[in-house]
Amino acid sequence: MASSSSLGSTVTVPKVKLGSQGLVVSAQGLGCFGMCGSYGLPKPDPDMIKLIHHAVDSGVTFLDTSDLYGPHTNEILIGKALKEGGLRNKVQIATKFGNRVIDGKLDVCGDPAYVRSACEASLKRLDIDCIDLYYVHRIDIRVPIEVTMGELKKLVEERKVKYIGLSEASASTIRRAHAVHPITAVQQEWSLWTRDLEDEIVPTCRELGIGIVPYSPIGRGFLAAGPSLVENLTEGDFRKSFPRFQNVDHNKTIFERLNEMATRKGCTAAQLALAWVHHQGTDVVPIPGTTKFENLNQNIGALSVKLTPEEMSELKSFASSDVVKGERHVYMQLTWKNSETPPLSSWKDI
Ligand code: ATR
């Protein structure tokens, strides 16, 4: 197992089983979303390739992307990183389909013909024969999930995909999908300030033996840097549009409490936020996103931050509902009225 030095400790990144179908991944993954824009300007490819190589050398082998990131350029970047490093057999590649951009507008599509063409295009961009974990990125409620899953099942039979995941799906969608073909992982936002999945999604996944992959475990950076992150967001950083990032005066309290406790424990606020997610269970594999070596090392170091039940409760109390103001995602504000958006029965299905 690989090791990484952080805050004076040597941390080994263990391998864990994700879900019940045989997928084994590193206990912490790498979210690659921020590398190709969205969080500010795209970062130079050579730097990101070095970062991906460093992650894999350090034991972080579970790489998370989507055809939407870029769009497309993030998958191409990962494909290059794998090729240049000869890394295909050392990594677990997770990518996603379902969000496509038409005339500059987002459209969610789970139509079987689209599922197949999206998969083939992702394979090409990633320059691999098989996707380890293929997620439905958002649920198209115009197409029954059974129909989308039927095509995914065929892709597994054809060995173009090894395991299937869902992202941002409701508990009932997870159950229906799992009845067609076993779901290996559900990816959902989960962090100290985003805990809405704990009521239904987490128990459903546990009942069905589905692994949980929290994205934005550091609150898109807010739990690492608080107000200073928001003050320094550059033009075009899409976090500016998020309701939570527009209520900084209110929401800074959670960061201040977290930071104060991190100082007491001798770690960083980002590490403490991440450690809280890691402590949710061995079936939980967060994928913090970073574009920096130092932050990657720190995040690996979070695996060595131990929390007592009392500390877990203290952390939980920082994020009670009155402490966090504003929805977690701009999607929450979309409604049927926007003719460009698909018919949304519930934000949970976006
Ligand atoms: P997402 O899943 O959406 O990428 P996240 O993992 O919660 O969200 O947070 C990602 C953000 O946190 C990024 O802005 C990242 O910035 P860098 O690319 O500059 O690293 C920031 N981040 C990640 N790890 C961090 C750390 N250890 N300390 C400070 N900021 C960190």
Count of domains in the chain? 1
pLDDT of amino acid 39: 87
The tokens describing 116, both together, are: 């197949």
Written as six digits, the tokens of 158 are 């054809």
Is residue 20 predicted with pLDDT exceeding 50? yes
Does residue 56 lie in a domain region? yes
Separation of 115 CA from ligand 1 center, angstroms? 30
pLDDT of residue 238: 81
pLDDT of residue 341: 41
First to last CA, the chain: 37
pLDDT for 111 beyond 60: yes
- For residue 260, give the nearest of 268, 251, 249 by alpha carbon: 268
Whether ligand 1 lies within 6 angstroms of the CB of 221 is answered as yes
188 C-beta closer than 6 A to ligand 1: no
**Any atom of ligand 1 within 6 Å of the Cβ of 289:** yes
- What is the reported pLDDT for 100? 86
**Distinct helix (H) and strand (E) counts, the chain:** 12, 13
- On whether residue 86 sits in a domain, the answer given is yes
pLDDT value of position 243:
83
Q: Is residue 200 one of the residues assigned to a domain?
A: yes
Res 350: pLDDT = 38
pLDDT at 192 over 50: yes
Atom of ligand 1 nearest to the CA of 215: 2
- Is residue 70 lining ligand 1, measured as CB closer than 6 Å? no
Average pLDDT over residues 111-126: 98
For the Cβ of 216 lying below 6 angstroms from any atom of ligand 1, the answer is yes
**Residues facing 218 on adjacent strands:** none
Query: Can you give the CATH number for the domain in which 287 is found?
Result: 3.20.20.100
pLDDT band with cut points at 50, 70 and 90 for residue 208: very high
Centroid of ligand 1 to alpha carbon of 39 (angstroms): 9
pLDDT digits (tens, 9 = 90+) for 65-82: 999 999 999 999 999 999
SS3 state of residue 261: helix
DSSP 127: T
Contacting residues for 329 by C-beta, under 8 A, at least 6 apart = 189, 242
For ligand 1, atom 9: residue with the closest CA? 220
Domain membership of residue 235 (yes or no) is no
In a domain, 270, yes or no: no
Q: How far is the CA of 55 from the centre of ligand 1 (A)?
A: 14
**Residue 1 counted as domain residue:** no
- On whether residue 182 sits in a domain, the answer given is yes
Q: Is 190 in the pocket of ligand 1 (CB under 6 A)?
A: no
Distance, CA 33 to ligand 1 centroid (Å)? Answer: 10
Helix residue spans in the chain (DSSP H): 45-57, 73-85, 112-126, 145-157, 171-180, 201-208, 222-225, 227-231, 248-265, 269-278, 293-301, 309-318
Ligand 1 centroid, distance to 176 Cα (angstroms): 33
Q: Is the CB of 95 under 6 A from ligand 1?
A: no
Question: What average pLDDT does the structure give for the chain?
Answer: 90
Quick check: bond before 203 cis, omega within 30? no
Angle between helices 73-85 and 45-57 (to 10 degrees): 60
Nearest-atom number in ligand 1 for the CA of 191 is: 7
Least confident of 8-12, 59-63, 289-293: 8-12
Range of 295's domain?
18-221+277-306
The protein residue with its alpha carbon nearest to ligand 1, atom 6, reads: 288
Q: Which residues are catalytic?
A: 69
In a domain, 30, yes or no: yes
